[in-house]
Structure 1
Amino acid sequence: MDLTEKRVNSNYIFHGKIMTVRVDDALLPNGEPCIREVCEHPGGVGVLPIDENRMVTLVRQYRYPYAETTLEIPAGKMDRGPENAEEAGRRELSEETGLTAGQMISMGEIWPSPGFMDERLYLYCAKELAQGACHPDADEFVEIVRMPFEELCQRVASGEIHDAKTVAAVGKMLIMGL
């Protein structure tokens, strides 16, 4: 059975710093017309840094859409043209935490919200860490938080951590045995 929907026409209604929004006229697999709203995003990267003692480094930051402060892995959007995901991960790790990684292990790609967004988020585990100076973007205000990986797992399991990329990275770490 073909489940493919086909785009007929696109109308771009917003072009922003982080995303572009379009409304598509499309055809369902049965040929019936439908409307699809799509947020186009340049993609992102999230990095779970873990040292030789199984301590992880996270960032605490305010997230405006939820009006809450979150605890999450260092991350950011891929905003330097067509960008290599690992290079973007190294940049974001350094900007937000001051850490550099001797080893970046790919944990694959996730689609945070495929019902309306085309964002691809690449996850990495960073090892062989060295501490340097943080240099966050002008609009980033982050607090560095370190804890044992096992504590992070407990916080994810209890529902304390809601951030999808952090939850996915913890799951990937466990599944991959990293």
Structure 2
Amino acid sequence: MSISTERMIARKEILHGRVLHVTVDTVEIDDGQGGKPKTATREAVWHFGACAILPVTDDGKIILVRQYRYAAAQPMLEVPAGKIEHDGENPAECAHRELEEETGFSSDDIQPLGYVYTSPGFCNERIYLYLAKNLKKGHQHLDEDEFMNLEYYTPDEVEQLIDKNEIVDAKTIANFQKARKYLF
């Protein structure tokens, strides 16, 4: 069996917002077997992407932020993160900006750890993951509508919080997993 490919042949714009672009697309599917192409409908969410940073203090503590998440209807414990502001923004620049905005720390030692797709079945959002060390204390620069608390945990504590479903944010779990070899 081969992998099929899909090509958009028609698009209906549903929403073009500040953060998201939503479309309903008609696609032609090539089954890769030489059969007659089929068509299907795909609802898709388009996003510039984001970055997520796992900041580690000199004494080995991981800085997480606790903030209320409207769509989840609950406060969540997460790594600092933020959206890429425009198409073409360098994810590393986003990481530096978001680290300082959300935590008040900066770093010249931010290491890329790769990226993850949040929900590739319907969304193209790619989150670039980073590890930040050698932190320098500064000041938070939260947006007007952002409210968050900083919390400090050892890697073992973060692992326990994940195991107990007290950390359920996918980008945080992925970022922690990608950074594990640098933490233990």
Q: TM-score, normalised by structure 2?
A: 0.92
The separation in 1 between residues aligned to 2:126 and 2:155, in whole angstroms, is 25
Query: Deviation digits for residues 26-49 of structure 1, max 9, x if unmatched?
Result: 122332211000100011000000
Corresponding residue SS for 1:106? strand
Q: CA deviation at 1:76?
A: 0.5
**Secondary structure, in 3 states, of the residue corresponding to 1:8?**
strand
Segments of 5+ residues of structure 1 without an aligned counterpart are none
Q: In the alignment, which residue of structure 2 is the partner of 1:67?
A: 73
Identical positions, percent: 38
Tell me how large the CA RMSD over aligned residues is.
1.2
2:48 and 2:86 in contact (8 A); partners too: no
Unaligned runs of 5+ in 2: 32-36
Decide which of 102, 114, 136 is 1:130's aligned counterpart: 136
1:10 — aligned with what? 11
Once residues 173 and 157 of structure 2 are traced to their aligned partners in structure 1, the CA distance between those partners, rounded to angstroms, is 13
Q: Which has the larger radius of gyration?
A: 2
Runs (4+) off by over 4 Å: none
Kept in 1, the 8 Å contact 2:28–2:40? The answer is: yes
Is 1:41 aligned to residue 47 of structure 2?
yes
Q: Which amino acid aligns with 2:50?
A: G
Whether the 8 Å CA contact 2:10–2:26 is kept in 1: the answer is yes
Cα distance change on mapping 1:32 and 1:80 into 2, 3 Å? closer
Aligned pair count reads: 177
The within-5 A match list for 1:15-30 is 15-30=16-31
Residues 1:157 and 2:157 are matched in the alignment: no
Deviation string for 1:110-154 (max 9, x for gaps)? Answer: 101000001111000000001111011111111111111210111
TM-score, length of structure 1 as denominator length: 0.95
1: CA distance, partners of 2:115 / 2:150: 25
Match of 1:32 among 22, 38, 45: 38
- Aligned residue for 2:15, secondary structure, equals strand
| Alignment correspondent of 1:96 | 102
Code of the aligned partner of 1:21? V
